[in-house]
Amino acid sequence: MTGRITIDLFTTLDGVAQAPGGPEEDTSNGFPYGGWQAPFPDRVLGQQIGAGIDAMDALVLGRRTYDIFAAYWPNHTEGDAEGRIGRKFDAIPKYVASRGRPNLEWQRSTLLGPDAAAEVAALRDRHENIHVIGSVDFVQTLLAAEAYDELLLWVHPVVLGQGKKVFPDGAKPATLELLAPPLVGDTGAVLLRYGPAGPVRTGDMSLPEDGA
């Protein structure tokens, strides 16, 4: 088995991926814009998100995102909308990256070891469709190690000017390739699908002089 690791991140136009879902999701560094994604409900992108959840057979989360999911989704397993997501998350294995020793009470939850990026990469041998949702701090580790196959950026038409970015200053230089045409949603949000494409390549954009 050679599975695929997909990273899902909801971001702003200026690359901020901190706390899209709610005011208390991640207030570190005094971030005041938690829940910035809420004003952009999008039918088109929602269908894509649902399809991705239906297809996944393993979920990887950082500790903060795990705590949020574990407090919410086990209590939302009824019905056809949220219930479908809750039942799926409840049923599949969940792998958690944490520097501590959290008590993982949600069923089928496993703590990753100290080299979490390597352990996530090794999940390709155990699962077909692994998704890493949110968890921007941990995602930056995976991006630097190129321990992923597809980066899904759900880019929303808002600029915040502060917050944790997908690629902060000091991020490892890398080239990415577009894996599929961009998909534009109802609200102006855009889904971009990228894969790793090796080191940064440079060149010279200047045109040769006439007669050269």
**DSSP, residue by residue, 138-163:** HHHHHHHHT--SEEEEEEES---S-S
Backbone angles phi, psi at 19, to 5 degrees: 50, 55
State the chain's mean pLDDT as an integer.
94
With residue 121 as reference, give the H or E element that holds it.
Answer: helix 116-122
Looking at residue 210, what is its pLDDT?
63
Q: Is the pLDDT of residue 32 over 80?
A: yes
pLDDT on residue 122:
95
Give the per-residue pLDDT at 212: 52
pLDDT digits (tens, 9 = 90+) for 107-118: 999 999 999 999
pLDDT of 211 strictly over 60: no
What is the reported pTM?
Answer: 0.92
Look at the chain and count its residues: 212
Write down the pLDDT at residue 157.
Answer: 97
Instruction: Tell me the three state secondary structure of residue 200.
Output: coil
pLDDT of 193 reads: 98
67: pLDDT strictly greater than 70: yes
Backbone phi, psi, residue 141, to 5°: -65, -45
pLDDT value for 56: 97
Interatomic CA distance for residues 150 and 176, integer angstroms? 10
Residue-wise pLDDT tens digits, 168-209: 999 999 999 999 999 999 999 999 999 999 999 999 988 776
- pLDDT tens digits along 4-26: 999 999 999 999 999 999 999 99
Q: Rounded to the nearest 10 degrees, what angle do helices 82-91 and 43-55 cross at?
A: 30
